[in-house]
Amino acid sequence: MRTKNDMTLFGWEKVILRNYALVPSEKIAKAIHTTPEEVECFAAKIGLDRYKFDPIWREKGFVTIIRNNWDILPNDSIADSLDYSREEFETLLKEYDFLDVKLGAKPAFDPPVYNDPPADHKKLQKLKELIEDTYTPRTVKPFDFYRGEVVRCEETDFAIGDRFVSAYSARYTGALLDDELMDYSEEYLRRLSDTGVNGIWLSETLRALAPFPFDESYSPDFSVRIRNLKKLVERCKSFGIGIYLYLNEPRSLPSSFFEKYPALRGHKVGENEYCLCTSNREVQQYLYDAVKFVVSSVPDLKGIFTITMSENPTHCYYANGKATDCPVCSKRKAYEVVAELNNLLCRAVKAGSKTTEYIANIWGWAEYMGWEKGDECNGIELLDPEVDVMCVSEFDKLFTRGGVSSNIIDYSISVIGPGEYAERCLQYAKERGHNVWAKIQVNNSWELSAVPYLPVFDMMTDHIENLKKLGVKGLMMGWSLGGYPGGGLAACSMACGKGKFSLASYVKKVYGEDAEKVLAAMRCFREGFEEYPFSLSSLYNGAQTLGPANLWSLYADGRKSTMVCFSFDDDEVWASPYGLGTYTRQYGKLCEKWHMGLEILSSVHGNALVEELKIVAGAAYAHFFSAFKHAEFVALKKDLIGNKEGIEKVLHEEYENTKTLIALSAQDARIGFEITNHYNYTQVTLIEKLWNLQSMLFELKALRG
């Protein structure tokens, strides 16, 4: 039976706890219907006043603020806290790398009101003691990423000449509205160049970069963005870095638009949204003119790459190669539609610049997106020779872990590619005269995105060695994550050289007299990571992303885990296809080996690069261990009474693990950060997890059998 829990935090208390120092007190007060003075008074009562407000959070950490408040504040209040209009906020949720999907369905709750119910002073005193005891002064400020040494790439003779990444700390969208281009500082570009990377990709919609001829109100700032794109290309060129533009086009439009242009209407997406039909000549002319405009305006753009099958509503077969309700495209094959679209865009690029490359990433040209087997080659057959072809390298790689066999789609470091599909498609494309590229994941992946890099460099370089045998021209070295100018980037760049890469030689040069211990530790990390229970369900829905920042519940709440964000009791999803028992055992094996690696490094002192490695590897362990304990907790709490002792043990272990992460994150601004999620946690939200664990221990002890 449930018992009264005197440690429960009310909604308005959570609002102050999670937002203090991130959001102005005036905004917090407005959200909970009180005064700034009351907010400051309450913050002082619980010891929060030691944290000082920093406006940088609303500029660079707005996703953190949105996530902190998703289940406690109405959207209007969240939008107001960031000075967004409701329309701007809704656009952000939709356009900022599927943020609305990551957050999931908004739970039902009553809007919080200050001091309703009244504060329990005994509870607040306990909370104050916890905050004061756990507070750890930061040695670096949040967002202060670029410190310390940079490991330089010493390779000059490359077999794979083009190597591009995402910008580690740039906004996913909107960076081109900043005339100063602060997201691309010279210090960042210098560090990135030192690692041997010679390209950066960024994402913008075509309507943001070129006028939309049917209704120019959809392109209000295109001239600003195109001017700053040109400026960015020039700035990067001085560091030997090229800019690649990612296009996923054309984007869908509301039904009101098609009232004036019914002939342009393609596949229906939702109640009030349709794709632009790319079989329509007017749409084709728009796409050609718009892309040519962009490339002509920025002729030194290094490349444009596309994805034509995706979650974004674009052409009429965008998400399902078998079905469309478009009367024109339904008479055609999906591979005909996407090949035609790529050829059209390629011709526009070549008409605009003699040097800009055009790359078709064929992600989604596969059965999981409704294509028939073999249609990927049919699509490649129709591509013009000037179209370069890119594959996700590890796609379709078969692997077995914990006795469970599965295939990779993408985002794997722990399973080393290439897969059979990539080998077949890239070879097929080469035979037809295309340059070929591979998309891989280096530094990190959704296997664990909250650290700047995973210290399993040889898993990444082994993958690159395999790709050199296929004769790839270039590498896209990660999606929106993995681009930190450090970690494994220099090693991966060096592995792109014509000779065979040696991790032992690399480690000896970088870590000097401590090389043997670093190598021994990295072997442990690799052996552990080879046990990772990989699946897209695990990557997207597992507890490793937020790690200790996940709040647990002693009782099942029925909530569904969300993509790279909240992880609840939804083990049928995140433990798939392993099952909860095997999934837990695999994480246990990973943590055992990883801990052995940390033990080896613990005896090394005074080497700055090893000290950094210890922090990063330790933070990775904290996330893996939290996912391991979360899985154990979910299994044990199915019988609260029978498993009381086991649950108490897990709660205490997670408590100590969370304290460790608090200490590590105070030393390194990169811990917990990823470009599209911003910070997964702050010190205060990790302290809230400690309170959450204490609360469950209190309630568990009060349970009667």
Query: What is the total count of domains within the chain?
Result: 2
User: How far is residue 697's CA from residue 326's CA, in Å, rounded to a whole number?
Assistant: 57
For 192-208, how does the pLDDT look when each residue is reduced to its tens digit (9 = 90+)?
999 999 999 999 999 99
Same-domain pairing of 118 and 214: no
Whether residue 206 lies inside any domain: the answer is yes
Are residues 242 and 177 both part of a single domain?
yes
Q: Please provide the average confidence, as pLDDT, over all residues in the chain.
A: 96
**Do 95 and 239 belong together in one domain?**
no
* Alpha-carbon span 250 to 464, nearest angstrom: 33
Q: Which amino acid, residue 599?
A: E
Residue 658 has pLDDT above 50, yes or no: yes
Instruction: Give the Cβ contact number of residue 660 at 10 Å.
Output: 16
Residue 94 pLDDT: 87
Whether the CB-CB separation of 560 and 568 falls below 8 Å is answered with yes
Which CATH number belongs to the domain containing residue 493 in this structure?
3.20.20.80
What is the reported pLDDT for 1? 46
Residues 476-506 pLDDT 10s:
999 999 999 999 999 999 999 999 999 999 9
65 Cβ contact list (under 8 Å, min separation 6): 19, 22, 23, 57, 58, 78, 81, 82
Same domain, 100 and 218: no
Q: Using CA atoms, how far apart are residues 162 and 164, in angstroms rounded to an integer? A: 7
Give the residue from 409, 365, 412, 360 showing the smallest Cα distance to 388.
Answer: 360
pLDDT of residue 95: 86
Sign of CA dihedral 410, 413, 417, 418: positive
**What number is the average pLDDT over the span 605-611?**
96
Task: Examine residue 625 and state whether it is found in any structural domain, yes or no.
Answer: no
Helices 11-19 and 683-702 cross at an angle (nearest 10°) of 150
4 has a pLDDT exceeding 70: no
Last residue of a domain, one of 481, 511, 541: 511
> Is there a single domain that holds both residue 485 and residue 414?
yes
Does position 6 have pLDDT exceeding 90, yes or no?
A: no
Domain-terminating residue out of 467, 488, 511 = 511
Instruction: Tell me whether residue 687 is in a domain.
Output: no
Supply φ then ψ for residue 446, to 5 degrees. -70, -5
In a domain, 155, yes or no: no
pLDDT in tens, 550-607: 999 999 888 999 999 999 999 999 999 999 999 999 999 999 999 999 999 999 999 9
**Are 107 and 190 in the same domain?**
no
- Judge if 489 and 399 occupy the same domain: yes
The range of the structural domain enclosing residue 57 comes to 1-135
Amino acid 421 reads Y
| pLDDT tens digit sequence for 56-80 | 999 999 999 999 999 999 999 999 9
Cβ-contact 633, 643 below 8 angstroms: no
| 3 has a pLDDT exceeding 60 | no
Residues 109 and 231 reside in one and the same domain: no
Residue 73 lies in a domain: yes
Which 3-state string (H, E, C) describes 675-703? CCCEECCCHHHHHHHHHHHHHHHHHHHHC
3-state DSSP call for residue 23? strand
Do 92 and 198 sit in the same domain of this protein?
Answer: no
Q: Please say if the pLDDT value at position 330 is more than 60.
A: yes
Same domain, 126 and 177: no
Q: What is the mean pLDDT of residues 674-701?
A: 97
Band of residue 2 on the pLDDT scale cut at 50, 70, 90: low
What pLDDT, in 10s, does the model give residues 147-174?
888 999 999 999 999 999 999 999 988 8
For residues 152 and 506, is the Cβ–Cβ distance under 8 A? no
The answer as to whether 597 is a domain residue is no
Angle of helix 334-352 relative to helix 281-297, nearest 10 degrees, comes to: 40
C-alpha dihedral, 136 to 140 to 145 to 151, nearest 10°? -100
**Quick one: which of 251, 249, 348 has its CA closest to 301?**
348
Across 384-425, the runs of DSSP E, i.e. the strands, are 388-392, 398-401, 404-407
User: What pLDDT score was predicted for residue 705?
Assistant: 57
Looking only at the bridges linking them, the beta strands covering 388-392 and 357-361 are parallel
> Same structural domain for residues 65 and 108?
yes
- Percent of the chain surpassing pLDDT 70: 99
In a domain, 679, yes or no: no
* Separation of alpha carbons 233 and 300, rounded Å: 7
| Position 452 in a domain | yes
Query: How confident is the model over 87-121, as pLDDT tens digits?
Result: 999 999 988 989 999 999 999 999 999 998 888 88
Q: Looking at 466, 491, 511, which one is the last position of a domain? A: 511
Question: Could you tell me the sign of the dihedral formed by the alpha carbons of 628, 418, 396, 303, in that order?
Answer: positive
Burial call 373-398: b when 16+ CB within 10 Å, e when fewer:
eebbbbbbebbbeebbbbbbbbbbbe
pLDDT at 270 > cutoff 90: no
118 and 242 part of one domain: no
CB atoms within 10 A of CB 20: 22
Distance between CA atoms of residues 138 and 122, nearest Å: 29
Q: Give the single-character DSSP code of 444.
A: -
Radius of gyration of the chain (CA): 26
> What separation, in Å, do the N-terminal and C-terminal C-alpha atoms of the chain show?
8
